[in-house]
Amino acid sequence: MTTRTESLSNIRQMPPVAVLREAPERVGLRVTMLQLAIYADLTPRLGTLGLTSPSRMTALLHIKAHPGCSQSELAQFTGLSRTSAMTMVEQLERAGFVERRAGANARTNALMLTDTGREALAEALAQSAINEERIFGVFSDDERATLVRLLEKGICHVEKLRTRQPG
């Protein structure tokens, strides 16, 4: 079992903490540094399961929650282009995690998790929990709840800006 004090040896892509002194006002830099740390620690864990990135785990989560969703719906949910989503689905299918079935019309596929995909997702979620503890274990429960609330507030704000119609 991983402990809070275990070294985060996978995290090499993050700039050194000293950069924070050079940009004390940059919140985005801090969020980016944490995001890099999360991905750098989680990606190798998922790689051992045959998932090449956290976005693959996100795709499996969406397909599990929305069995029969289309590739277009998956693209929209993951923020990928339709072409990138198609490539990802092909990779997930080759790995045996997803199968494509006939969709609502001749131009769509319905995506379903296979038993192998469900098993991989369960293990990926376990690895993600380890990652969460390694990165965020330094925070108390109250601090984590505050961080989640603040991040969600920022994300919802950006979503409003992103979807705001001109004029």
Task: Output the 3-class SS for 66-105.
Answer: CCCECHHHHHHHHCCCHHHHHHHHHHHHHCCCEEEEECCC
* Residues 22-42 pLDDT 10s: 777 889 888 988 888 898 889
Question: Which of 22, 34, 60, 56 lies closest to 144 in space, CA to CA?
Answer: 34
Q: What is the CATH number of domain 21-127?
A: 1.10.10.10
**Mean pLDDT, residues 100-111 taken together:** 83
**Mean pLDDT, residues 9-24 taken together:** 67
pTM for the whole structure: 0.79
Tokens, residue 149: 């609330």
What residue segments make up the domains of the chain, in order of their start? 21-127
| Average pLDDT of every residue of the chain | 86
